[in-house]
Structure 1
Amino acid sequence: MTSARNRIIEAAFRLFLKQGYENASMAELVAVTGLSKGAVYHHFRDKEALHDAAIDHFFLRFFSSTISGNVNSDKLDCVLDLDALVGAMIADFSRLLETVTAIVPDVGAYYRFLFDALPKVRPFIRDRLSGAQAAVAVAMRCGQKRGQLNPSLDPDAAAMQCLAMIEGAALLCVLDGAGEWDAAFERTILPFVESLRVRPSA
């Protein structure tokens, strides 16, 4: 059963998508929840607090806190696994899109909400992208040390390509209206990662 707090957040999310943050009033936000004013204010002191909660619920919480720029491929215990790392990133993104489309059956809602909230979340996005790129690059260097990945590979450039493909695959789903992002990830990211591997000698 959906909690009252999540019910409020989901209703607010729909209204923020429809009208934008600036054009949605607290009175309208209370009305769309179907709850009393007191019930809404019990959880959220104002519109900004409710908007912040929606950003966290539909965006921030899906970015793994384990992805950090504090990784080092020079350590002897080079254990970062590229397949596992990329798989976790894809799974996080898939859960994000599934959560959004469960409320609003439109993958484009993710992008509309993201760009509306961008002034607030840009520092977080910059930090997470930097950390994710660093982690993927280190995993690639680990793979090179193990002899699994092409030694001529530029890990930093390939890591950025990998992140761009994840976001790009989802965006293409929005553009063609298919909404089949898992299949899109399988067609793009996984073959790319596979192409980085050292081919066994004939």
Structure 2
Amino acid sequence: MYDSVSTQSITPIMPSAQKLKADQTRQQILEAAFLEIHQQGFRSASLGNILKKTGVTKGALYHHFPNKQALGYAVFDEIIVPQSQERWARLQNPVNNPVDVLLDIGQELIRDMTFEAIQLGCPICNLIQEMSSVDHGFHARFKTFQDEWRKQLSEAILRGQLQGLIIKEVNPNAVASFLIACHDGAASVGKATHDINEYKNCVNETRRYLNNLRSKQQG
């Protein structure tokens, strides 16, 4: 009975070596493009530099990305956004105290900051400032990203209020918008001054604000 089954109808589970290589090449291009864009800005980013860093041909690049704009969109969607989401994802865990999570994230931002990073600035903030007013595709992506980030923060603050962890007097949506402004503003101040201490001052003041959100009934 089993001999009558056509092997042609069975879809291979493992991708072919050719597809694996193509996927690896695409990822290699994305990672090199991210570094180039972060260092030079999107409009000044050189496809030639990206090709040189990756060793891939121009044909291979255009096979995966029809133009520089498509490459920039993919860098934002597949590199920049996931990096940010990974850091903030723990806010969604209802077991975690939102204030404690946000304080920890602030401490991590300070710990991970380097002089090179402070000079280059935040990848998201850089792109928003450079491209939001001149490219609809980028602008739409930035808005979606910030709307989702604001929603995530707002829901965490509201959950903290319902659990008696955060004071009732604040508006969760307003707090969320303020925290995003603090995050982006700290990155801008650091980049403008090339001073890690200025960046740390901004983050630490935000952390002080967060501590003031704690409900007096905690504990």
Shift of 1:140: 2.1
Output one character per residue of 1:134-155: Cα deviation in whole Å (capped at 9) or x when no partner.
3322322222222222222222
Corresponding residue for residue 83 of structure 1? 99
Given that 1:7 and 1:33 are in contact with CA atoms closer than 8 Å, whether structure 2 keeps it comes out as: no
Shift of 1:105: 5.0
2:119–2:190 Cα contact (<8 Å) kept: no
CA–CA distance in 2 between the matches of 1:164 and 1:126? 14
Rate the CA distance shift 1:137–1:15 in 2: closer, same or farther, 3 A: closer
- For the Cα contact (< 8 Å) 1:138–1:155, is it kept in 2? yes
Structure exhibiting the larger radius of gyration computed from Cα positions = 2
Question: What is the rounded CA distance, in whole Å, between the counterparts of 2:34 and 2:145 in structure 1?
Answer: 25
Distance 2:28 2:151 in 1: 39
Find the counterpart in structure 1 of residue 68 from structure 2. Answer: 47
Q: Residues 189 and 42 from structure 1, CA distance in 2 versus in 1: closer, same or farther, beyond 3 angstroms?
A: same
Please report how far the alpha carbon of residue 175 of structure 1 lies from its aligned counterpart in structure 2 after TM superposition: 2.2
Q: Which amino acid aligns with 1:40?
A: L
Write 1 or 2 for the structure with the bigger share of helix.
Answer: 2
CA distance in 1, matches of 2:177, 2:38: 32
Q: How does 1:1-202 map to 2 (within 5 A)?
A: 4-6=28-30, 8-10=32-34, 12-13=36-37, 17=41, 21=43, 29-30=47-48, 33-34=51-52, 35=55, 36-56=57-77, 59-64=80-85, 79=95, 81-83=97-99, 86=102, 101=116, 106-107=120-121, 111-118=125-132, 119=135, 120-179=137-196, 183-184=200-201, 186-199=203-216
Mapped to 1, the partners of 2:100 and 2:68 lie a distance apart of 39
Please say if residues 144 and 150 of structure 1, whose CA atoms lie closer than 8 Å, have aligned partners that are also in contact: yes
Corresponding letter in the other structure for 1:37: K
> What is the RMSD of the two structures over their aligned residues, measured on CA atoms?
4.4
Query: Which ranges in structure 1 are unaligned for 5 or more consecutive residues?
Result: 72-76
In structure 2, what is the Cα distance between the partners aligned to 1:11 and 1:141? 37
**Matched position secondary structure for 2:74:** helix
Instruction: Tell me how far 1:193 sits from its aligned partner.
Output: 1.0
SS in 1 for 2:147: helix
**Distance of 2:86 and 2:48 partners within structure 1:** 32
Identity of aligned residues (%): 16
Q: Provide the secondary structure at the position in 2 that maps to 1:199.
A: coil
Shift of 1:112: 4.1
Cα distance, 1:126–1:88 mapped onto 2, change above 3 Å: farther
Using the TM superposition, give the Cα deviation of residue 14 of structure 1 relative to its aligned residue in structure 2, in angstroms.
Answer: 6.5
Contact kept, 8 Å, 1:86 with 1:136, in 2: the verdict is no
Total equivalences in the alignment: 184
| 8 A Cα contact 1:170 1:184, kept in partner | no
- Tell me the CA shift for residue 173 of structure 1: 0.8
